[in-house]
Structure 1
Amino acid sequence: MSEETYKIRIKYAKGGVLKYIGHLDLMRFFQKVFKRAGVDVAYSQGFSPHQLMSFAAPLALGVTSEGEYFDAQMNSLISSDEYVRIFNEQMVDGVYVKDVILLPEKAKKAMSIVAASDYVISFSDESENIKDIKDKVLSVVPHLMEKETIEVFRKTKKNEKVEDIKHGIYKLELRDDSIYMYLAAGSEYNLKPDSVLEALCNEAGVAYNRFDYSIHRLETYYKNDDGELVSLLETGTRIE
Protein backbone atom coordinates (compact mmCIF):
# COMPACT_ATOMS: atom_id res chain seq x y z
CA MET A 1 0.00 0.00 0.00
CA SER A 2 1.32 3.49 -0.79
CA GLU A 3 1.95 5.87 2.08
CA GLU A 4 -0.74 8.31 0.95
CA THR A 5 -4.26 7.07 0.35
CA TYR A 6 -7.53 8.81 -0.39
CA LYS A 7 -11.02 8.14 0.96
CA ILE A 8 -13.91 8.23 -1.46
CA ARG A 9 -17.63 7.82 -0.80
CA ILE A 10 -19.78 6.14 -3.44
CA LYS A 11 -23.52 6.74 -3.74
CA TYR A 12 -25.41 4.01 -5.54
CA ALA A 13 -28.89 2.69 -6.25
CA LYS A 14 -29.94 -0.89 -5.62
CA GLY A 15 -32.90 -2.68 -7.17
CA GLY A 16 -33.63 -5.44 -9.63
CA VAL A 17 -32.44 -8.94 -8.77
CA LEU A 18 -29.81 -7.64 -6.34
CA LYS A 19 -32.47 -6.47 -3.90
CA TYR A 20 -32.66 -10.10 -2.78
CA ILE A 21 -28.96 -10.56 -1.99
CA GLY A 22 -27.49 -10.04 1.47
CA HIS A 23 -24.90 -7.56 2.66
CA LEU A 24 -21.88 -9.88 2.33
CA ASP A 25 -22.81 -10.88 -1.21
CA LEU A 26 -23.30 -7.23 -2.13
CA MET A 27 -19.86 -6.39 -0.76
CA ARG A 28 -18.33 -9.19 -2.85
CA PHE A 29 -20.19 -7.87 -5.89
CA PHE A 30 -18.64 -4.42 -5.50
CA GLN A 31 -15.19 -5.88 -4.86
CA LYS A 32 -15.47 -7.60 -8.25
CA VAL A 33 -16.69 -4.36 -9.83
CA PHE A 34 -13.61 -2.55 -8.52
CA LYS A 35 -11.33 -5.27 -9.91
CA ARG A 36 -12.97 -5.30 -13.34
CA ALA A 37 -12.97 -1.50 -13.48
CA GLY A 38 -9.23 -1.48 -12.82
CA VAL A 39 -9.33 1.31 -10.22
CA ASP A 40 -6.38 1.79 -7.88
CA VAL A 41 -8.07 0.62 -4.67
CA ALA A 42 -6.01 0.17 -1.51
CA TYR A 43 -5.72 -3.24 0.15
CA SER A 44 -5.22 -4.25 3.75
CA GLN A 45 -1.87 -5.70 4.75
CA GLY A 46 -1.29 -9.20 6.09
CA PHE A 47 -1.73 -12.80 4.95
CA SER A 48 -5.14 -12.23 3.36
CA PRO A 49 -5.25 -8.74 1.79
CA HIS A 50 -8.71 -7.35 1.04
CA GLN A 51 -10.02 -4.15 -0.48
CA LEU A 52 -10.52 -1.38 2.07
CA MET A 53 -14.23 -0.58 1.86
CA SER A 54 -17.09 -0.24 4.34
CA PHE A 55 -20.84 0.16 3.86
CA ALA A 56 -23.05 2.77 5.52
CA ALA A 57 -26.40 1.18 6.37
CA PRO A 58 -27.07 -2.24 4.80
CA LEU A 59 -30.58 -2.79 3.44
CA ALA A 60 -32.89 -5.57 4.50
CA LEU A 61 -33.56 -8.22 1.86
CA GLY A 62 -36.17 -7.17 -0.67
CA VAL A 63 -35.79 -3.42 -0.04
CA THR A 64 -34.78 -1.19 -2.96
CA SER A 65 -32.96 2.11 -2.71
CA GLU A 66 -31.67 5.14 -4.58
CA GLY A 67 -29.63 6.42 -1.63
CA GLU A 68 -27.03 3.80 -0.63
CA TYR A 69 -23.42 4.52 0.28
CA PHE A 70 -20.09 2.86 0.88
CA ASP A 71 -16.57 4.15 1.46
CA ALA A 72 -13.40 2.95 -0.22
CA GLN A 73 -9.74 3.78 0.24
CA MET A 74 -7.75 4.50 -2.93
CA ASN A 75 -4.06 4.77 -3.75
CA SER A 76 -4.72 7.27 -6.54
CA LEU A 77 -7.71 9.17 -7.90
CA ILE A 78 -9.56 9.87 -11.12
CA SER A 79 -12.47 12.29 -11.58
CA SER A 80 -15.91 11.67 -10.10
CA ASP A 81 -17.42 11.48 -13.58
CA GLU A 82 -14.83 8.91 -14.65
CA TYR A 83 -15.48 6.77 -11.57
CA VAL A 84 -19.22 6.82 -12.29
CA ARG A 85 -18.65 5.88 -15.93
CA ILE A 86 -16.26 2.96 -15.41
CA PHE A 87 -18.15 1.56 -12.42
CA ASN A 88 -21.45 1.59 -14.27
CA GLU A 89 -19.88 -0.23 -17.22
CA GLN A 90 -19.47 -3.20 -14.84
CA MET A 91 -22.92 -3.11 -13.23
CA VAL A 92 -25.92 -5.40 -13.61
CA ASP A 93 -29.50 -4.24 -14.18
CA GLY A 94 -30.95 -2.47 -11.17
CA VAL A 95 -27.65 -1.39 -9.61
CA TYR A 96 -25.75 1.72 -10.64
CA VAL A 97 -23.42 4.33 -9.16
CA LYS A 98 -24.93 7.81 -8.90
CA ASP A 99 -21.97 9.84 -7.68
CA VAL A 100 -18.52 9.67 -6.09
CA ILE A 101 -17.01 12.23 -3.71
CA LEU A 102 -13.61 12.72 -2.08
CA LEU A 103 -13.72 12.80 1.73
CA PRO A 104 -11.60 14.93 4.06
CA GLU A 105 -8.56 13.12 5.43
CA LYS A 106 -10.05 12.71 8.92
CA ALA A 107 -13.60 11.89 7.79
CA LYS A 108 -15.41 9.25 9.83
CA LYS A 109 -16.69 6.09 8.18
CA ALA A 110 -20.19 6.36 6.76
CA MET A 111 -21.48 3.57 9.00
CA SER A 112 -20.49 5.53 12.13
CA ILE A 113 -22.29 8.78 11.23
CA VAL A 114 -25.60 7.55 9.76
CA ALA A 115 -28.45 9.23 11.67
CA ALA A 116 -31.59 8.87 9.52
CA SER A 117 -33.11 7.43 6.36
CA ASP A 118 -36.32 8.18 4.50
CA TYR A 119 -38.52 5.78 2.59
CA VAL A 120 -41.53 5.62 0.35
CA ILE A 121 -43.81 2.62 0.83
CA SER A 122 -46.15 1.43 -1.90
CA PHE A 123 -48.56 -1.48 -2.02
CA SER A 124 -47.94 -4.62 -4.03
CA ASP A 125 -50.52 -6.11 -6.35
CA GLU A 126 -49.93 -9.70 -5.27
CA SER A 127 -52.33 -10.01 -2.33
CA GLU A 128 -55.98 -10.76 -3.10
CA ASN A 129 -57.30 -8.41 -0.44
CA ILE A 130 -54.71 -5.67 -0.99
CA LYS A 131 -57.35 -3.07 -1.91
CA ASP A 132 -59.09 -3.40 1.45
CA ILE A 133 -55.78 -3.41 3.36
CA LYS A 134 -54.55 -0.38 1.41
CA ASP A 135 -57.66 1.68 2.18
CA LYS A 136 -57.52 0.87 5.88
CA VAL A 137 -53.78 1.47 6.31
CA LEU A 138 -53.75 4.72 4.34
CA SER A 139 -56.68 6.03 6.40
CA VAL A 140 -54.69 5.89 9.66
CA VAL A 141 -51.43 7.43 8.38
CA PRO A 142 -52.46 11.07 9.07
CA HIS A 143 -53.45 10.24 12.65
CA LEU A 144 -50.79 7.84 13.94
CA MET A 145 -48.43 10.60 15.12
CA GLU A 146 -51.26 12.12 17.20
CA LYS A 147 -50.97 9.20 19.63
CA GLU A 148 -48.94 9.72 22.81
CA THR A 149 -47.10 6.45 22.23
CA ILE A 150 -46.68 4.13 19.26
CA GLU A 151 -45.95 0.67 20.59
CA VAL A 152 -44.84 -2.41 18.67
CA PHE A 153 -43.02 -5.64 19.46
CA ARG A 154 -39.31 -5.24 18.75
CA LYS A 155 -36.93 -8.18 18.61
CA THR A 156 -33.51 -7.87 20.21
CA LYS A 157 -30.68 -10.39 20.28
CA LYS A 158 -31.93 -11.70 23.62
CA ASN A 159 -35.71 -11.33 23.57
CA GLU A 160 -38.77 -9.59 22.19
CA LYS A 161 -40.28 -6.62 23.98
CA VAL A 162 -42.90 -3.92 23.55
CA GLU A 163 -41.27 -0.62 22.62
CA ASP A 164 -42.48 2.91 22.00
CA ILE A 165 -41.06 3.88 18.59
CA LYS A 166 -42.63 7.32 18.24
CA HIS A 167 -39.39 9.21 19.02
CA GLY A 168 -37.74 7.49 16.04
CA ILE A 169 -40.36 8.71 13.54
CA TYR A 170 -39.35 12.16 12.30
CA LYS A 171 -42.04 12.42 9.65
CA LEU A 172 -44.94 10.25 8.50
CA GLU A 173 -47.31 11.35 5.75
CA LEU A 174 -49.32 10.33 2.70
CA ARG A 175 -47.93 10.93 -0.76
CA ASP A 176 -50.62 10.08 -3.28
CA ASP A 177 -51.26 6.35 -2.74
CA SER A 178 -47.95 5.80 -0.95
CA ILE A 179 -46.58 6.34 2.55
CA TYR A 180 -43.56 8.56 3.19
CA MET A 181 -41.58 7.99 6.38
CA TYR A 182 -38.46 9.71 7.71
CA LEU A 183 -36.89 7.54 10.42
CA ALA A 184 -33.99 7.45 12.86
CA ALA A 185 -31.16 5.18 11.72
CA GLY A 186 -27.68 4.28 12.84
CA SER A 187 -25.96 3.31 16.05
CA GLU A 188 -27.88 5.59 18.45
CA TYR A 189 -31.34 4.37 17.43
CA ASN A 190 -32.23 2.35 14.35
CA LEU A 191 -35.90 2.18 13.38
CA LYS A 192 -36.83 -0.01 10.44
CA PRO A 193 -39.80 0.85 8.22
CA ASP A 194 -41.26 -2.60 8.97
CA SER A 195 -41.87 -1.52 12.58
CA VAL A 196 -43.77 1.58 11.46
CA LEU A 197 -45.81 -0.47 9.00
CA GLU A 198 -46.63 -2.90 11.78
CA ALA A 199 -47.82 0.01 13.95
CA LEU A 200 -49.98 1.31 11.10
CA CYS A 201 -51.49 -2.15 10.58
CA ASN A 202 -52.21 -2.47 14.30
CA GLU A 203 -53.97 0.89 14.25
CA ALA A 204 -55.91 -0.07 11.11
CA GLY A 205 -56.92 -3.46 12.53
CA VAL A 206 -55.28 -5.53 9.79
CA ALA A 207 -52.53 -8.15 9.94
CA TYR A 208 -49.07 -7.02 8.87
CA ASN A 209 -47.72 -9.00 5.91
CA ARG A 210 -44.36 -7.78 4.62
CA PHE A 211 -45.18 -9.01 1.11
CA ASP A 212 -48.10 -6.58 0.83
CA TYR A 213 -45.62 -3.69 0.64
CA SER A 214 -42.75 -2.45 -1.51
CA ILE A 215 -40.18 -0.53 0.55
CA HIS A 216 -37.88 1.92 -1.21
CA ARG A 217 -35.20 3.99 0.52
CA LEU A 218 -34.81 7.50 -0.85
CA GLU A 219 -31.75 8.81 0.99
CA THR A 220 -29.40 8.25 3.93
CA TYR A 221 -28.54 11.16 6.22
CA TYR A 222 -26.03 12.27 8.83
CA LYS A 223 -26.14 15.13 11.36
CA ASN A 224 -23.84 18.01 10.41
CA ASP A 225 -22.08 20.44 12.76
CA ASP A 226 -25.23 22.59 12.91
CA GLY A 227 -27.31 19.61 14.02
CA GLU A 228 -29.13 19.39 10.69
CA LEU A 229 -29.84 16.09 8.96
CA VAL A 230 -28.28 16.22 5.50
CA SER A 231 -27.36 13.73 2.79
CA LEU A 232 -24.19 11.68 3.19
CA LEU A 233 -23.22 13.08 -0.20
CA GLU A 234 -22.55 16.42 1.52
CA THR A 235 -19.64 15.02 3.54
CA GLY A 236 -17.10 15.67 0.79
CA THR A 237 -16.48 17.22 -2.62
CA ARG A 238 -16.66 15.98 -6.18
CA ILE A 239 -13.35 15.19 -7.87
CA GLU A 240 -12.68 17.27 -10.98
Structure 2
Amino acid sequence: MKTLPWYRLEYAKKGKARFLSHREVMTAFQRALRRAALPLAYSRGFNPRPRLSFGPSLALGVAGMKECLDVELNRVVEAEESLRILNSELPSGLEGRRLELLPPNDPGLGKIVNCAWYRVSLPLSSAGVDVFQPLLRELQDSEGNWDYRKPGDGKVYDLAAGVLECRVLADSTGIYLDFLLKIGSGEVPLRGLLEVLGERAGLPFSLLPAFVERCGIYRRVEGCLVDPFGEIKALWEEDI
Protein backbone atom coordinates (compact mmCIF):
# COMPACT_ATOMS: atom_id res chain seq x y z
CA MET A 1 0.00 0.00 0.00
CA LYS A 2 1.42 3.39 -1.03
CA THR A 3 1.13 6.03 1.72
CA LEU A 4 2.63 9.08 -0.03
CA PRO A 5 1.44 9.94 -3.55
CA TRP A 6 3.18 8.22 -6.46
CA TYR A 7 3.05 9.62 -9.98
CA ARG A 8 3.65 7.83 -13.28
CA LEU A 9 5.56 9.77 -15.93
CA GLU A 10 5.46 8.77 -19.58
CA TYR A 11 8.45 10.10 -21.48
CA ALA A 12 10.28 9.85 -24.79
CA LYS A 13 13.97 9.11 -25.25
CA LYS A 14 14.98 10.09 -28.77
CA GLY A 15 17.59 11.89 -30.85
CA LYS A 16 21.03 11.92 -29.26
CA ALA A 17 19.49 10.86 -25.94
CA ARG A 18 19.01 7.33 -27.30
CA PHE A 19 22.76 6.87 -26.80
CA LEU A 20 22.43 7.51 -23.06
CA SER A 21 22.77 4.43 -20.87
CA HIS A 22 19.97 3.47 -18.50
CA ARG A 23 22.01 4.78 -15.57
CA GLU A 24 22.60 8.10 -17.35
CA VAL A 25 18.86 8.45 -18.00
CA MET A 26 18.18 7.80 -14.31
CA THR A 27 20.70 10.48 -13.33
CA ALA A 28 19.25 12.97 -15.83
CA PHE A 29 15.75 12.57 -14.39
CA GLN A 30 16.96 12.78 -10.79
CA ARG A 31 18.70 16.08 -11.54
CA ALA A 32 15.79 17.48 -13.57
CA LEU A 33 13.26 16.59 -10.86
CA ARG A 34 15.38 18.38 -8.26
CA ARG A 35 15.83 21.47 -10.45
CA ALA A 36 12.08 21.50 -11.14
CA ALA A 37 11.60 21.82 -7.36
CA LEU A 38 9.07 19.01 -7.20
CA PRO A 39 8.39 17.85 -3.61
CA LEU A 40 10.37 14.62 -3.91
CA ALA A 41 10.20 11.88 -1.30
CA TYR A 42 13.62 10.46 -0.38
CA SER A 43 14.86 7.10 0.77
CA ARG A 44 16.22 6.74 4.28
CA GLY A 45 19.80 5.99 5.29
CA PHE A 46 23.21 7.62 4.96
CA ASN A 47 22.75 8.52 1.28
CA PRO A 48 19.10 9.53 0.70
CA ARG A 49 17.95 9.40 -2.92
CA PRO A 50 14.71 10.37 -4.66
CA ARG A 51 12.31 7.44 -4.69
CA LEU A 52 12.09 6.57 -8.39
CA SER A 53 11.19 3.34 -10.15
CA PHE A 54 11.92 2.97 -13.87
CA GLY A 55 10.35 0.70 -16.45
CA PRO A 56 12.41 -1.89 -18.38
CA SER A 57 15.74 -0.53 -19.60
CA LEU A 58 16.44 0.24 -23.26
CA ALA A 59 19.46 -1.05 -25.15
CA LEU A 60 21.99 1.64 -26.06
CA GLY A 61 21.00 3.34 -29.32
CA VAL A 62 17.33 2.31 -29.16
CA ALA A 63 14.82 5.16 -29.03
CA GLY A 64 11.84 4.96 -26.69
CA MET A 65 8.58 6.72 -27.52
CA LYS A 66 6.45 5.76 -24.51
CA GLU A 67 8.81 4.92 -21.65
CA CYS A 68 7.68 5.20 -18.04
CA LEU A 69 8.97 5.91 -14.57
CA ASP A 70 7.26 6.20 -11.19
CA VAL A 71 8.20 8.90 -8.68
CA GLU A 72 7.08 9.34 -5.08
CA LEU A 73 6.28 12.86 -3.89
CA ASN A 74 5.60 14.31 -0.45
CA ARG A 75 2.29 15.82 -1.55
CA VAL A 76 -0.14 15.97 -4.45
CA VAL A 77 0.85 18.40 -7.23
CA GLU A 78 -0.80 19.91 -10.31
CA ALA A 79 0.28 17.43 -12.98
CA GLU A 80 0.16 19.61 -16.11
CA GLU A 81 2.18 22.46 -14.61
CA SER A 82 4.67 20.06 -13.00
CA LEU A 83 5.20 18.36 -16.36
CA ARG A 84 5.83 21.71 -18.05
CA ILE A 85 8.44 22.70 -15.47
CA LEU A 86 10.11 19.29 -15.60
CA ASN A 87 10.44 19.45 -19.39
CA SER A 88 12.18 22.80 -19.11
CA GLU A 89 14.88 21.12 -17.00
CA LEU A 90 15.38 17.90 -19.00
CA PRO A 91 18.27 17.59 -21.49
CA SER A 92 17.60 17.51 -25.22
CA GLY A 93 16.10 14.21 -26.35
CA LEU A 94 14.31 13.44 -23.08
CA GLU A 95 10.72 14.69 -23.00
CA GLY A 96 7.97 14.12 -20.45
CA ARG A 97 4.64 13.51 -22.18
CA ARG A 98 2.18 12.52 -19.49
CA LEU A 99 2.08 12.70 -15.69
CA GLU A 100 -0.67 11.06 -13.64
CA LEU A 101 -1.33 10.33 -9.98
CA LEU A 102 -1.40 6.58 -9.31
CA PRO A 103 -4.07 4.81 -7.26
CA PRO A 104 -2.82 3.55 -3.87
CA ASN A 105 -3.06 -0.10 -4.96
CA ASP A 106 -0.95 0.24 -8.13
CA PRO A 107 1.56 -2.67 -8.12
CA GLY A 108 4.36 -0.74 -9.86
CA LEU A 109 5.91 -0.94 -13.32
CA GLY A 110 7.96 -4.04 -12.54
CA LYS A 111 4.81 -6.08 -12.01
CA ILE A 112 2.77 -4.50 -14.80
CA VAL A 113 4.95 -4.63 -17.91
CA ASN A 114 5.47 -8.00 -19.61
CA CYS A 115 5.86 -7.09 -23.29
CA ALA A 116 6.97 -4.27 -25.60
CA TRP A 117 6.48 -3.17 -29.19
CA TYR A 118 9.68 -2.60 -31.15
CA ARG A 119 9.88 -1.12 -34.65
CA VAL A 120 12.93 -1.67 -36.87
CA SER A 121 13.19 0.81 -39.76
CA LEU A 122 15.12 -0.19 -42.88
CA PRO A 123 15.81 1.65 -46.16
CA LEU A 124 13.81 0.56 -49.20
CA SER A 125 17.01 -0.66 -50.84
CA SER A 126 17.61 -3.29 -48.11
CA ALA A 127 15.08 -5.94 -49.16
CA GLY A 128 11.44 -6.27 -50.14
CA VAL A 129 8.42 -7.17 -48.04
CA ASP A 130 8.32 -10.49 -49.90
CA VAL A 131 11.70 -11.40 -48.35
CA PHE A 132 10.64 -10.82 -44.75
CA GLN A 133 7.00 -11.93 -44.90
CA PRO A 134 7.60 -15.71 -45.01
CA LEU A 135 10.40 -15.47 -42.44
CA LEU A 136 8.22 -13.63 -39.95
CA ARG A 137 5.45 -16.15 -40.51
CA GLU A 138 7.88 -18.97 -39.69
CA LEU A 139 9.10 -17.06 -36.65
CA GLN A 140 5.62 -16.49 -35.27
CA ASP A 141 4.59 -20.09 -35.97
CA SER A 142 7.84 -21.36 -34.37
CA GLU A 143 8.75 -23.25 -37.54
CA GLY A 144 12.39 -24.29 -37.92
CA ASN A 145 15.34 -23.53 -35.67
CA TRP A 146 15.36 -19.98 -34.31
CA ASP A 147 18.05 -20.50 -31.67
CA TYR A 148 20.55 -17.73 -30.98
CA ARG A 149 23.77 -18.24 -29.03
CA LYS A 150 24.84 -15.08 -27.25
CA PRO A 151 28.53 -14.23 -27.70
CA GLY A 152 30.55 -14.26 -24.51
CA ASP A 153 28.51 -16.36 -22.10
CA GLY A 154 27.22 -18.74 -24.79
CA LYS A 155 23.64 -18.64 -23.50
CA VAL A 156 21.18 -20.02 -26.05
CA TYR A 157 17.84 -18.29 -26.65
CA ASP A 158 14.81 -19.67 -28.46
CA LEU A 159 13.93 -16.48 -30.34
CA ALA A 160 10.55 -17.74 -31.51
CA ALA A 161 9.44 -18.27 -27.90
CA GLY A 162 10.09 -14.61 -27.10
CA VAL A 163 8.16 -13.17 -30.06
CA LEU A 164 4.44 -12.74 -29.37
CA GLU A 165 3.50 -11.00 -32.64
CA CYS A 166 5.35 -9.68 -35.69
CA ARG A 167 4.69 -8.11 -39.08
CA VAL A 168 6.39 -6.32 -41.97
CA LEU A 169 5.07 -3.29 -43.84
CA ALA A 170 6.41 -0.70 -46.25
CA ASP A 171 5.67 2.79 -47.50
CA SER A 172 7.40 5.32 -49.74
CA THR A 173 10.12 5.96 -47.15
CA GLY A 174 11.18 2.51 -46.02
CA ILE A 175 10.46 -0.97 -44.70
CA TYR A 176 9.33 -1.53 -41.12
CA LEU A 177 9.58 -4.68 -39.03
CA ASP A 178 7.30 -4.66 -35.99
CA PHE A 179 7.80 -7.06 -33.07
CA LEU A 180 5.82 -7.54 -29.89
CA LEU A 181 8.42 -9.10 -27.60
CA LYS A 182 8.23 -10.54 -24.12
CA ILE A 183 9.74 -8.49 -21.29
CA GLY A 184 11.07 -10.25 -18.20
CA SER A 185 10.35 -13.99 -18.19
CA GLY A 186 11.07 -15.42 -21.64
CA GLU A 187 12.70 -12.22 -22.93
CA VAL A 188 15.07 -12.61 -25.89
CA PRO A 189 17.76 -10.16 -27.11
CA LEU A 190 16.59 -7.95 -29.96
CA ARG A 191 20.16 -7.84 -31.25
CA GLY A 192 20.17 -11.62 -31.63
CA LEU A 193 16.78 -11.57 -33.34
CA LEU A 194 18.03 -9.08 -35.94
CA GLU A 195 21.24 -11.04 -36.50
CA VAL A 196 19.41 -14.31 -37.15
CA LEU A 197 16.71 -12.65 -39.25
CA GLY A 198 19.35 -11.00 -41.44
CA GLU A 199 21.12 -14.32 -41.94
CA ARG A 200 17.86 -16.10 -42.78
CA ALA A 201 16.98 -13.38 -45.29
CA GLY A 202 20.34 -13.91 -47.01
CA LEU A 203 21.18 -10.23 -46.81
CA PRO A 204 24.76 -9.18 -47.64
CA PHE A 205 24.76 -6.84 -44.62
CA SER A 206 23.72 -6.82 -40.98
CA LEU A 207 20.35 -5.48 -39.85
CA LEU A 208 21.99 -4.10 -36.71
CA PRO A 209 22.68 -0.55 -38.02
CA ALA A 210 18.93 -0.16 -38.55
CA PHE A 211 17.04 2.50 -36.62
CA VAL A 212 15.18 0.83 -33.74
CA GLU A 213 12.56 2.35 -31.48
CA ARG A 214 10.44 0.95 -28.70
CA CYS A 215 6.96 2.26 -29.44
CA GLY A 216 5.22 1.12 -26.27
CA ILE A 217 5.35 -1.07 -23.17
CA TYR A 218 2.36 -3.12 -22.04
CA ARG A 219 0.86 -5.86 -19.99
CA ARG A 220 -0.61 -8.58 -22.18
CA VAL A 221 -3.65 -10.13 -20.55
CA GLU A 222 -5.74 -12.74 -22.37
CA GLY A 223 -4.72 -11.35 -25.75
CA CYS A 224 -5.37 -7.71 -24.81
CA LEU A 225 -2.68 -5.05 -24.46
CA VAL A 226 -2.97 -2.74 -21.45
CA ASP A 227 -0.63 0.25 -21.18
CA PRO A 228 0.94 1.39 -17.86
CA PHE A 229 -1.98 3.78 -17.32
CA GLY A 230 -4.54 0.99 -17.50
CA GLU A 231 -5.81 1.81 -20.99
CA ILE A 232 -6.53 -1.02 -23.46
CA LYS A 233 -4.63 -0.61 -26.73
CA ALA A 234 -5.04 -2.30 -30.10
CA LEU A 235 -1.93 -3.99 -31.48
CA TRP A 236 0.13 -1.73 -33.78
CA GLU A 237 -2.45 1.07 -33.58
CA GLU A 238 -0.88 3.49 -31.11
CA ASP A 239 0.04 6.98 -32.26
CA ILE A 240 3.85 7.01 -32.18
Same fold (TM over 0.5): yes
Deviations 1:202-221 (A, max 9, x none): 21123663652110110000
Whole-Å Cα distance in 1 between the matches of residues 8 and 204 of structure 2? 40
Say whether residues 1:49 and 2:48 are aligned partners: yes
Give the C-alpha shift of residue 23 in structure 1: 1.1
Deviations 1:184-226 (A, max 9, x none): 112x1223332321231121123663652110110000245x6
Say whether residues 1:212 and 2:214 are aligned partners: no
Name the residue aligned to 1:25: 24
Residues 140, 163 of structure 1: CA spacing in aligned structure 2 closer, same or farther, 3 A cutoff?
Answer: farther
Taking structure 2 as the reference length, the TM-score comes to 0.83
4+ long deviations beyond 4 Å = none
Say whether residues 1:72 and 2:71 are aligned partners: yes
Whole-Å Cα distance in 2 between the matches of residues 210 and 203 of structure 1? 11
Whether the 8 Å CA contact 2:116–2:214 is kept in 1: the answer is yes
Name the residue aligned to 2:110: 111
Name the residue aligned to 2:176: 178
Larger relative contact order (Cα-Cα within 8 Å, sequence gap ≥ 6): 1
Q: RMSD of aligned C-alpha atoms?
A: 2.4
Give the C-alpha shift of residue 6 in structure 1: 0.9
Identity of aligned residues (%): 27
Taking structure 1 as the reference length, the TM-score comes to 0.83
Give the C-alpha shift of residue 180 in structure 1: 1.3
Unaligned runs of 5+ in 1: 125-129, 236-240
Whole-Å Cα distance in 2 between the matches of residues 35 and 43 of structure 1? 11
Whether the 8 Å CA contact 1:151–1:162 is kept in 2: the answer is no
Whether the 8 Å CA contact 1:150–1:199 is kept in 2: the answer is no
Residues 105, 99 of structure 1: CA spacing in aligned structure 2 closer, same or farther, 3 A cutoff?
Answer: same
Whole-Å Cα distance in 2 between the matches of residues 56 and 208 of structure 1? 33
Whether the 8 Å CA contact 2:115–2:183 is kept in 1: the answer is yes
Match of 1:232 among 204, 228, 231: 228
Name the residue aligned to 2:131: 140
Name the residue aligned to 1:127: none
Deviations 1:39-61 (A, max 9, x none): 01100011110000011111010
Residues 77, 202 of structure 1: CA spacing in aligned structure 2 closer, same or farther, 3 A cutoff?
Answer: same
Name the residue aligned to 2:162: 168
Whole-Å Cα distance in 1 between the matches of residues 100 and 204 of structure 2? 43
Residues 65, 114 of structure 1: CA spacing in aligned structure 2 closer, same or farther, 3 A cutoff?
Answer: same
Say whether residues 1:40 and 2:39 are aligned partners: yes
Give the C-alpha shift of residue 150 in structure 1: 4.6
Name the residue aligned to 1:155: 150
Secondary structure at 2:127 match in 1: helix
